[in-house]
Amino acid sequence: KQPVLLRSVSLPFSGHGGRSRMATVSHSWHIEGFRELRERACVYGPEFQAGDYFFQLQLHPHSHRGGGRPDRPDALYLTLVAELGSVPPKLHGLKVRACFRSERLGLRRTIEVKDTAERWRGGFGPRDDDVNGSVAAHEEEELDLHVLVEILEEDTPRHTVLRWPLDEFEALRAGHSSVPCRAGFHAFHWRRFEVFGLAPSPIAFRAELHPCIDATG
């Protein structure tokens, strides 16, 4: 009897629709028959959509045998499926935050990576020997993996789309206003980004958040 991959659930998160180009999506992958699947070099999960992009989780159960060698894969990857969705033909950079979780593995890891579409096709994951060992040592027939994917930045020629999710904005504003500033204008929260134009090098910008400035200044 062949092992089966039972369930794959992808849901828009916090009100951000899956059709939006800059999306946040929660994806769950339930695996049955893992003890047989672990004999494979790689186990491929189903594709799921985050905005205009499609991603896939991949497991490499034998990653622990690499002994930390850079030419051996880690156990868990999030990869871009460039053949699906709508990937811009000239994508200089895609910035993604991915939060991996698995109760059975005791896994809670977050990565934030900005790289080219080609590199994202290869995938990124938590480079962690503990994660590699947990996957290799898992003896149960079932395994559940969850990932929260946030598209944060998309760099194309002459256009950069920056997305900056903020949690607990009121607490952020209260903390900001409690710090004295003689100049009366300061920003502790900012994000750097680049715009690729006709010049050989990109132009760097910085987006600043001033949460205490209202209509009165």
**pLDDT digits over 72-108, tens only?**
568 999 999 988 887 888 888 899 999 999 999 999 9
Share of the chain above pLDDT 90, in %: 35
Which pairs from 204-208 meet CB under 8 Å and 24+ separation? 207/162, 207/164
Taking residues 211-216, report their average pLDDT: 68
Cα angle for residues 151, 154, 155 (degrees, 5° grid): 160
Q: Which helix (H) or strand (E) holds 37?
A: helix 34-37
Question: Is it the case that residue 147 has pLDDT exceeding 50?
Answer: yes
Please tell me which residue, 124 or 1, carries the higher pLDDT value.
Answer: 124
Share of the chain above pLDDT 70, in %: 77
Least confident stretch, 32-41, 125-134, 190-199: 190-199
Residues near 84 by beta carbon (within 8 Å), at least 6 away in sequence: 47, 49, 54
Please tell me which residue, 105 or 189, carries the higher pLDDT value.
Answer: 105
Residue 106: left (phi > 0), alpha (psi -120 to 50), or beta?
left
Any alpha helices (H) in 78-190, and if so which ranges? 117-122, 129-137, 169-177
Q: In the numeric block, which tokens belong to residue 85?
A: 């969705």
Taking residues 41-62, report their average pLDDT: 91
Q: Which helix (H) or strand (E) holds 35?
A: helix 34-37
What pLDDT is recorded for position 17? 38
Predicted confidence band of residue 178 (pLDDT cuts 50, 70, 90): low
**Does residue 177 sit in helix, strand or coil?**
helix
- Which of 3-7, 158-162, 166-170, 185-189 ranks highest by mean pLDDT? 158-162
In terms of DSSP bridges, do strands 203-209 and 189-195 run parallel, antiparallel, or are they unpaired? antiparallel
Q: In the numeric block, which tokens belong to residue 188?
A: 């502790």
Residues forming beta bridges with residue 66, ordered by sequence position: none
Of 179, 193, 152, 194, the residue nearest 210 (C-alpha)? 179
Predicted confidence band of residue 46 (pLDDT cuts 50, 70, 90): very high
Predicted confidence band of residue 71 (pLDDT cuts 50, 70, 90): low
